[in-house]
Amino acid sequence: MSDLVGATGGQPSEAADGLRADLVERLLEHCGYVCTTGEEGPIADAMVARYDGLGEKVVRVGHSVVIGRPGPSSRLHGGDRPLVLLVGHLDVVPPTEDDVRPRVDTRDGQDVIVARGASDMKAGNVLAMQMFEDRGVRESSPYDLVLVLYAGEEGAVETNELLDVLEQVPWLREADLAIVLEPTDGQIQLGCLGSLQAEVTFVGKQAHSARPWHGRNALTMAGSFLDELDRDHVRDVEVDGILYRDVWSATQAWTPGLGPTDTRRTVPVRNIVPGAFTINLNLRFAPSRSTDDAVAEVVDRVGDLAQVNVFDRAPAAPPRMDAPLVRAFTASVGAEVAAKQAWTDVARFAEVDVPALNYGPGLTAQAHQRGEYVPIDAMVDAHQRLRRFLTTGTADTSTTPPAPPA
């Protein structure tokens, strides 16, 4: 199955046709479980039943499952086989009428699978499952492979079950590499951005709008800050030769009584100069500094103009180009290397010192879109590249990391 392209004319071989049909069938089945965040029970049940039936060792944590475990020749048992995790999340965002029914279709002349979660990230899950179930891959691989499918990624940080999985299955924290198969457009995307959510509140004095001099308009007090934010909200940051972008975004704003957590449902009063005005500020920051450093940057940028309340934070993850299996992966897969310009659960692995990277067939622009789809050719290509690493990839043990991408 390693030679999937015919020798003449670039035509697919019989093996490639079989692989293509297998991946399509698997993804249609996997996408048939439209399990939104918090409702992953049915798909978790299906995963447990599938792998129990295949005789695999299965550990369930909530609605998350860990399939397989290190063998006797594993590095964890004193051997020399590194442990590689194939990682994906089971939940999706709510479907629309355009993607609730999984189907094969065409987009821009390409054969695609349309379904909620097709790109984000069930195509990646299917690749991981197919590799794990392929005895030829498992037997020829220089690595021990374990499949991790977890719940709660699309929701709030505190309901993401990956942290629970890493705590309750502690040997996972000894892995040599975690491959998170999030959509990456076929790129190898290293590290990830951190994220902060902060409420920035400008405090003035409420007054009648006919006599605003009796107060201080908190809304217009924010004008200079918002103007600066409009002019300066993207900053390039290079980490280990990988270019990330810090992004400062005002995502919501409100005056008292109209905020996202307010329960009052009254007609807005339009003749009051507001005494407070709050902006939700979201900072996405490169892995060049810690979460505490990023909080300090927000406080410093706002200065004494307003009050700052940071209420949600997620750490960034470094690219880890120093890790032997990250080097081996980039060399074997041969795809473009780039930054992950978002937050993903590679950050959770970074917190427990497991090298991790993002690589998957899904399209980033299709994540959470109406009529979400994934090209079938992208799945086949990612399969070939991932299989090459899993069957022939060897760790580069040199002390000099590879040259960063241009």
Phi, psi for residue 28 in degrees, rounded to 5: -60, -40
What average pLDDT does range 141-155 have in this prediction? 96
> Sorting pLDDT into bands at 50, 70 and 90, what band is 216?
very high
Closest CA to 180 of 362, 51, 377, 52: 362
Chain centroid, CA 315 distance in Å: 13
Which pLDDT value is given to residue 400? 40
Please report the sign of the dihedral spanned by the C-alpha atoms of residue 51, residue 53, residue 54, residue 55. positive
What average pLDDT does range 74-95 have in this prediction? 95
> If you ran DSSP here, which 8-state letter would residue 1 be given?
-
DSSP 12-32: B-HHHHHHHHHHHHHHHHHHT
Query: How many percent of the chain have pLDDT more than 70?
Result: 92
The tens digit of pLDDT for each residue in 92-112 reads: 999 999 999 999 999 999 999
Classified by CATH at the fold level, domain 194-314 comes out as Alpha-Beta Plaits (3.30.70)
- Of the listed ranges 58-62, 239-243, 254-258, the one predicted with least confidence: 254-258
Q: How far apart are the C-alpha atoms of 233 and 228, rounded to whole Å?
A: 8
Three-class secondary structure of residue 231 per DSSP: helix
pLDDT at 221 over 60: yes
Classified by CATH at the fold level, domain 14-191+317-392 comes out as Aminopeptidase (3.40.630)
| Structural contact between residues 257 and 266, judged by C-beta atoms closer than 8 angstroms | yes
Mean pLDDT of the residues in the chain: 92
Three-class secondary structure of residue 377 per DSSP: helix
> If you ran DSSP here, which 8-state letter would residue 256 be given?
T
Helix axes 123-133, 376-392, angle to 10 degrees: 40
Which pLDDT value is given to residue 42? 98
pLDDT at 263 over 70: no
pLDDT at 157 over 90: no
Q: How far apart are the C-alpha atoms of 311 and 199, rounded to whole Å?
A: 8
Alpha helices in 212-255 (DSSP H): 218-221, 223-231
Q: Where are the domains of the chain?
A: 14-191+317-392, 194-314
Compute the CA torsion angle 131, 132, 134, 137 (nearest 10 deg): 70
The tens digit of pLDDT for each residue in 361-389 reads: 999 999 999 999 999 999 999 999 999 99
> Sorting pLDDT into bands at 50, 70 and 90, what band is 396?
very low
Which pLDDT value is given to residue 204? 98
pLDDT at 269 over 90: no
